[in-house]
Chain A
């Protein structure tokens, strides 16, 4: 076995969290060697535009590069996934056999699109998932070729954004989802109904309560049809499987960490937990891959797929990596994300998990400009805005302060809150998979 390369601080995952984490290390005064390992051959790029401007053809997939905000002086190992971690010797192994000896490790491997299973049509051409830049480029090319009908499986955020782009391109689109409305898992059917109306108005055929059993191909192995669990079928020559994501923790198997498809569990300071529950002093995690106890919600373990968390958590983890063992600060973060679809700018703060009440406190659903809040046991836990984002900070404050539900009445644009049935499909998953569904 060749000698391990002394790699200093190693960041695994060369995307948003990895990049921002590395920058924070430098800004925090770290002068030693810094190595960034990335499975993809690309420099860090931004994912949110992939399901928006890139699919719509307004931005090339390779024009999504993230700007570096600080000089990194890093050694890049791109196109090389890590395949194993040896904690005792502090070594990560790369696919090509290279062994990197780390002082400290930042795990930022994010998440991967859940693929459609091969036996039921996952390997047919014309069946796409959307997570990375190459996925987006391939999907964009296929859309530009003018498919007769696009079928989108999964009406989560990415599925809906893709549907919106397809309609902008003038393509015939069907969206299917097992739930009664789009975004049912993240926002509930009360608010999801607004998106259902947008889909309808935009000319998208939405089939709620529908489960796909299999895709069928033609002689050349190209998808032509989807079969539903209820026996029905639909012709489609392009499929986007938007089934949510699983955390990229496969390479950590056998490392003795609390890691699974739901994430790498950390303590409040972003330190990875060993199998026995003790935090590893030299391994941190940030971004989509991390699962951490969130103080705002009583320390429950959550993982999110939010751009803002990747940035903030990476900065926080980097800070703690450089601090002494007695100066490990807890990560206090209020989750937040945005989405744009059908000309509407959706922004949300907080986590809706366990919500038992929903009320529109500003604007109206009919105008598609409104602000809705979510409550659990009488307390405000989350808020979502449709084209009303500027008010969100008031609600974020209310969530952080644990205000009663609803925290605000008598708004200038709505005198009395309108209560809705929250309509979350049960059982709610423990993880807040906003960008997932089904």
Chain B
């Protein structure tokens, strides 16, 4: 980490600077000196737990990232088509629910929740166990694994494909699209021209694929989420317009991919840094939920999300003006000493762990139960099966993203795989 510390109104710029990626937490501590702090660029960074909590429930904070003039408000396929004749506007204009406000957000989310049921998620357990075992079996005979490439990365896409009802044969294509689109939710992503083109091309390809798959699901519904979302509601009418359906399916892929990758990777990283916790988890897999909650607090996959203030908001001694970008710095709130005793200690046994790992309020992660199951199975298997695991490089190299933050690679030296 660079040692000249930035001024208070440039702290967030430093957060975005890859030089601080491996350990942004000291910057967060400085930001937290003020619950809400104005940055040079006119944005407001919110880093205290109480202030984040309050803003998550403030109806003046908008997640819409497009100006009203460019915002299609309809999920009606025909109107969508008139408004968005060019398919790739799905990428640039037709926004999924994570980028939408009530009431549209609520309608779409309710439909997703309706089919994202507990039994459906629980039913994936068996396949996740098999996938994790197969991925680890494939590493047998090596003295080193790269957790990201060998397990964290391939697992979530396979699981989401299963959930949505994407045929197994098409999974490799999804892996490729997921990689391309991973940065699409990254608010601070500064893509170069070529990168932008690749993203749009991936959106086009996955949109076209989804459109066909949806048609197929309507013809031959199966017991999967896409069939349910594409099918008729109780009143016989279609639940979602085609564009909403496609953008929702893509969102589920994108939102559930890199986040889960990071959760598994960050989790293992913390266990390797805290070997006693690794031992305890190996001895008692029932500890997994506590460990995962603590990872979500201590070193979460999603560090912040950006909103916009639709009206002036008084909070934490400042007035956020109308129109200002507001950064909810979840990862800082989750280490607020006002809220958590000894916040910089990794302690799965803390009694009260109301972290912001999955956000909060109306955009609270819909995939949280699934993410928890995946991480639980992966971490328990890693602890039980890796013999004498140790970090090869600490800190590991990180991907550039500051919000979806996680190691690019995590090499673990091993004495074998059980």
Contacts and interface: CB of A to CB of B under 8 A. Distances in A.
Interface in A385-420: 390-391, 393-394, 397, 408-413, 415
Contacts of B6: none
Secondary structure class of chain A's binding surface, majority of residues: mixed
A362 interface: yes
A371 B59 CA distance: 10
B59 A394 contact: yes
Contacts of B101: 412-413
Nearest to A393: B57
A408 B103 contact: no
Contact of B59 (A367, A369, A397, A412): A412
Nearest to A396: B57
B416 to A, nearest CB: 49
A158 B101 CA distance: 34
Given A363-B102, A363-B103, A409 B57 contact: no
Contacts of B58: 394, 408
Interface string B36-77: 000000000000000000100111111110000000000000
A413 B103 CA distance: 6
Nearest to B362: A390
B341 interface: no
Contacts of B354: none
A391 B59 contact: yes
Given A363-B102, A363-B103, A369-B103, A412 B61 contact: yes
Interface string A354-388: 00000001110001010100000000000000000
Interface residues of A, number: 18
B5 interface: no
A361 B60 CA distance: 11
Secondary structure class of chain B's binding surface, majority of residues: loop
B103 A367 contact: yes
Nearest to A414: B59
Interface residues on B, range: 10 to 19
A391 B106 CA distance: 13
Interface string A311-342: 00000000000000000000000000000000
A390 B57 contact: yes
Contacts of A410: 60, 310-311, 322
Nearest to A363: B103
A408 B57 contact: no
Interface string B86-108: 00000000000000011100100
B57 A394 contact: yes
B369 interface: no
B361 A390 contact: yes
29 contacts: A361-B59, A363-B102, A363-B103, A371-B59, A390-B57, A390-B361, A390-B362, A391-B57, A394-B54, A394-B57, A394-B58, A397-B54, A408-B58, A408-B59, A408-B60, A408-B311, A409-B60, A409-B311, A410-B60, A411-B311, A412-B60, A412-B61, A412-B62, A412-B63, A412-B64, A412-B310, A413-B59, A413-B102, A413-B103
Given A393-B57, A415-B310, 11 more contacts: A361-B59, A369-B103, A371-B59, A391-B59, A393-B54, A397-B54, A408-B60, A412-B60, A412-B61, A412-B101, A413-B103
